[in-house]
Structure 1
């Protein structure tokens, strides 16, 4: 999700985290402010269980399961061992994040998979909550440059994450290794259609792979439409990518982005 804002509670109150200068997206909360915002852990844990239960019985998740089944059939490798999640946001404070976590936990149960998760804005409470669900919390901001193995299929779950994160993930796995990746994120098609040329020029791996992606829809019938709006499942079918030339798969320079782009949280932050 976008960690710059969060709709919280049933009224979807908009919360904006303060910005610092251009080199820092998030301003550290003072200890007194942190105490004021400290959620009740047990109450939040209960809300997460409720969110998971609601997601699990929803038409939205049924649609996602059907599309994932199609994806695994197409990839001919149903062996999912891990799910990597980036950009979940502050689950202790944010209702959107809790529902997105509920979706992730339903995926975890569906595939009996290990979950590894990272977001630079996690608080100690968020990490405590995630440990209650046996999620491994990654300690390094890889900026999405997470390389998978080729012996099993890895699901990447990146709810409403910036396009740069997806571009970095593609760069890290550029080549036939992409056949081992399933990316659940904002629709590639929408990104290509709605982003200005200047932005697309900085996300060339996303632009280059787009014609060779199979995008599978997730029908968003959830009662809070914004939470899963524009979510889609993306795979890289072997019969498509194996036909691409060696020149196409030549790995170029590591992606770089404008310093004034505050949407994307870099390692230096």
Structure 2
């Protein structure tokens, strides 16, 4: 796992949402890939800030936030860990433009305020408007793409937020912390159980090997989603990896930790090498 990286050195990468907010297309003349829906024109920043403030008020008035915090408290109790040390987010998307991203960001903002922690984010589609908004709310926006291979160190519990991100990103995160270090990872993402159910063994062997392997040892607490915009938190679960469960796994289970390699043809997952070919 020598290429796994800690966020204090460089950051991660992300791809994109299940509903395809990002698309790659080929310029047939130059063979260069470009992002669709990446508007970098001037926006009324005061307007988008107001929208986020209103969205936060709406979100807090529902039971969804209480459900999130209750599940987090339950998981931390099971882990016997009293606190979270850092929050890391991959793949938030165009928070300055898109409704789903805006409400997903509102959850992140609430968690930041609840735990009084720094929040680090990365998404290759962030434009100047997104970065302005994120920094306005005190977020730290990173620029280095390490493809989700973020290594937790010093036995500090880290909360990872991967809103509707491709399974390759989650797979990379699991690989980077493969072993007992997973007990320090709390992951809010698409349901691991559902990922396993919805894909064949062959598909998972190509792009989700570590997801399939860890699924029997993950404690998954599914969110009861009654939010008015159902797709914002659809299929969202909180995942914990209790040390007692990980400790009984045979040693050779952890020794099979070859770094994942994916097909460049998968347009949902954007590798650092692929990023060098993109014009945003």
**TM-score using structure 1 length:** 0.89
Cα distance in structure 1, aligned partners of 2:26 and 2:19: 12
Are residues 1:5 and 2:20 paired? yes
Alignment correspondent of 1:227: 232
Moved more, 50-59 or 64-73: 50-59
Report the secondary structure of 1:117's partner residue. strand
Structure 1 residues 136-175: aligned runs within 5 Å: 136-175=140-179
Cα distance in structure 2, aligned partners of 1:89 and 1:42: 19
Aligned to 2:258, which of 236, 253, 257? 253
**TM-score using structure 2 length:** 0.86
Report the secondary structure of 1:178's partner residue. helix
The runs of 5 or more residues in structure 1 that have no matched partner are 7-15
Render the CA deviation track for 1:21-71: whole Å, top value 9, x for unaligned: 6997643789xx643xx3211100111111122222221111111110100
Distance 1:5 1:253, change over 3 A: same
Aligned to 1:27, which of 31, 35, 45? 35
Alignment correspondent of 2:45: 41
Aligned to 1:82, which of 63, 86, 106? 86
Offset at residue 18 of structure 1 (A): 5.3
Cα distance in structure 2, aligned partners of 1:74 and 1:244: 18
Are residues 1:128 and 2:143 paired? no
Report the secondary structure of 1:252's partner residue. coil
Distance 1:162 1:211, change over 3 A: same
Render the CA deviation track for 1:209-242: whole Å, top value 9, x for unaligned: 1100000011101001011100000000111001
- The answer on whether the counterparts of 2:157 and 2:186 sit within 8 Å (CA) in structure 1 is yes
Render the CA deviation track for 1:128-151: whole Å, top value 9, x for unaligned: 111111111111111100011243
Aligned to 1:187, which of 171, 188, 191? 191
Larger relative CO (CA 8 A, sep 6+): 1 or 2?
2
- The answer on whether the counterparts of 1:56 and 1:103 sit within 8 Å (CA) in structure 2 is no
Offset at residue 92 of structure 1 (A): 1.2
Offset at residue 20 of structure 1 (A): 2.5
- The answer on whether the counterparts of 1:83 and 1:155 sit within 8 Å (CA) in structure 2 is yes
Misfit runs of 4+, over 4 Å: 21-25
Alignment correspondent of 1:10: none
Aligned to 2:67, which of 63, 66, 75? 63
Distance 1:28 1:224, change over 3 A: closer
Offset at residue 249 of structure 1 (A): 1.0
Report the secondary structure of 2:120's partner residue. strand
Alignment correspondent of 1:104: 108
- The answer on whether the counterparts of 1:39 and 1:93 sit within 8 Å (CA) in structure 2 is no
Cα distance in structure 1, aligned partners of 2:144 and 2:209: 25
